Amino acid sequence: MAMTIDVAELGGNPPLACVALAGELDASNYEQVIDVVRKAYADGARRLVLDLEQLTFMASSGLFALHSAVRIMGGETPPDPEEGWSALHQMSMDEDAPASNLRLAAAQEPIARVLERTGMLRVFALDATRADAIATLQGA
Amino acid sequence: MAGSAADPRNPEPRALQIPASVDHLAEVRSFVRDCVADFGGSKRVADDLVQAVDEATCNVMLHGYRGKPGDIAIEAAVRDRNIEIRIMDRATAFDPTAAQARDAARPPAPTRIGGMGLGIELLRGMTDEVHHSVRPDGGNELTLVHSMDRPTQED
């Protein structure tokens, strides 16, 4: 099953974008997510909701893409997947608090379990719905 | 033969062979999901094994064959109410069961895509047992075991 990506620019100040993923996110297509987030940032977005409601599978490569999205939204150079970036990670993510400019929304149960099992919910906030995530970022 | 299609307690083993390319991961996941359903496993067991087999197979593609052409054979069988999935390759010997566990005190940092990190953590965390052996004629055999009757871990 392929993955589709839908981007909505929602405006605001700073501008907010919502990227909705549908299908299966794996090692064959995770770079598409990074590219879309990079483009949203280039187009002005500084806050991002990743809507996972229609996503049925996410591999560890997907976790890498989500991690990249946080960095891109923070204005950092997106990591090169061919290189290790543990050192880069040390620079900005030592604080044990979820990112403030990116929220995940509506993860299905298997994906929520992957996020929880890998400790990713310490890096990302996860809201029950897309609307909740948008409202939280807009109120911030 | 221990199993036959007419005996739901001992379903026939099933097999899949794919080229070592990430474009075939969806086919692997579909195969695993179908096998678990045919074997009578729950959706939760299927979700766990789909995740674990995807991570293990992706590791073989990216770090075993390192992008070079190769084949991966996958076999699924039931023994004593356990689903066993064997992943066999001809790549460089690599034992994911020997990889060091992540430091749980720190936030996770994916080091590289499909690398020695979260993928291995997932393949171990989503199964009851993982066994690795080097095949006598070269390559790896990785066996993932998951009980049909209970989740791997309590959430």
**Per-residue pLDDT tens digits for B1-41:** 444 455 666 789 999 999 999 999 999 999 999 999 999 99
User: Across the interface, do B29 and A57 touch by the CB < 8 Å criterion?
Assistant: yes
> Phi and psi dihedrals of A43, rounded to 5?
-85, 0
**What are the sequence ranges of the domains in chain B?**
14-147
pLDDT confidence tier of residue A80, bands split at 50, 70 and 90: low
Domain that holds residue A63: 4-139
Mean pLDDT for all residues in chain A: 86
CATH number of the domain that residue A16 is part of:
3.30.750.24
* Average pLDDT along chain B, 155 residues, taken 10 residues at a time: 56 95 97 96 96 95 90 96 97 84 64 62 92 94 93 54
CATH top-level class of B14-147: alpha beta
CA distance A95 to B99: 26
Count of structural domains within chain A: 1
Question: Which residues in chain B are closer than 8 Å to A67, comparing Cβ atoms?
Answer: 109-110
Quick one: closest CA in B to A79, which residue?
A: B112
What average pLDDT score do residues A17-27 get? 97
Q: Which residue has the tokens 């990249």?
A: A68
Show the beta-strand stretches assigned E in chain A.
4-11, 16-25, 47-58, 102-105, 125-127
Closest CA to B17 of B112, B86, B117, B114: B86
Closest CA in chain A for residue B66: A82
Q: How confident is the model at residue A86 (pLDDT cuts 50, 70, 90)?
A: very low
B55 to chain A, closest Cα gap in Å:
7
**ipTM metric:** 0.87
Query: Between chain A and chain B, how many beta carbons pairs sit less than 8 Å apart?
Result: 97
Residue B104: predicted pLDDT? 64
